[in-house]
Amino acid sequence: MKKQDMNRDWIATAATLSSALPYLQRYDGAIVVIKLGGHAMGSDEAMDTFARDVVLLRQVGVNPVIVHGGGPMINAMLDKLEIKSEFVNGKRVTDKATMNVVEMVLSGVVNKRIVQAINRQGGMGVGLSGKDANLITCDQTNPDLGFVGTPADMDPSVLHHLFEKDMIPVIAPIGSGRDGETFNINGDTAAGAIASALAADRLLLLTDVAGVKNGDGEVVTELKATDVEDMTRSGVIAGGMIPKTETALQAVRNGVRACTIVDGRVQNSVLLELFTLHGAGSMIRPD
């Protein structure tokens, strides 16, 4: 006979699962849009951990949607192909040659890597871009920047069809223009537009910072939309955090219940944010 040894770690795991029950019930059937970027894409180990967490979400009844970036991979391919970029006010001009590389890397290499990681963990990942099924129709953001687009019209019906089949959409931030052009979209912007079109319960923006910090350098775990505006006007929110909080504000004012800027460097950060009292970042809610 095998002796049962009640290891403390096992007991702690069981207690964690039990305490997660209210959150599992809360998010049953919910749509959660996750912008994947930063550390979570940096290694195969981190990608596998993220994929396992996403498959777990689907297993317990959540409908996850993954929207990804891929800037470093695009830059590496442009360098490899010796395609030189021009910049206007610090922003890359996306000409036709650059756009071809952007689509190849995002819709091809990066998208399929994430899909394969999800499938390895037992999920059913399906790779898409905003061009598929008219998901994202764009207007040109600024003629000086070339083929950079801003989402204008959204049709998320294909995503609802995938939810019905227990599939996990993985979306590259590429959209169609009204005249058949192809546009590159900022990943956070694309995630916010998709979350708004789906009236998602949550939008999670994975990044490599702990969250929104106040004037004392402390992470603020929950903010109202007006708090974010006040902190931006006063300069407390600055730099790279501004576009993320702007995406969050637009999303929560367009019907998304809440947006959290999540520290993607923390292992299992998505599960911590959704299924524990502690959370893993800064949640922004409407006023």
The strands making up 63-68's β-sheet, listed across from edge to edge, are 125-129, 168-172, 63-68, 31-36, 202-207, 258-263, 281-285, 222-224
92 is in an annotated binding site: yes
Rounded (10°) angle between helices 96-103 and 71-80: 120
Kindly tell me the sign of the dihedral angle through the C-alpha atoms of 196, 200, 202, 203: negative
> Rounded CA gap, 241 and 40, in Å?
18
Query: Distance of CA 237 to CAs 198, 217, 222, Å?
Result: 28, 11, 14
> Rounded CA gap, 73 and 110, in Å?
8
Say if residues 171 and 135 touch (Cβ distance below 8 Å): yes
> Rounded CA gap, 127 and 272, in Å?
26
70 is in an annotated binding site: yes
Residue 134: φ, ψ to 5°: 55, 35
71 is in an annotated binding site: yes
125 is in an annotated binding site: no
Binding residues: 70-71, 92, 184
Binding residues for substrate: 70-71, 92, 184
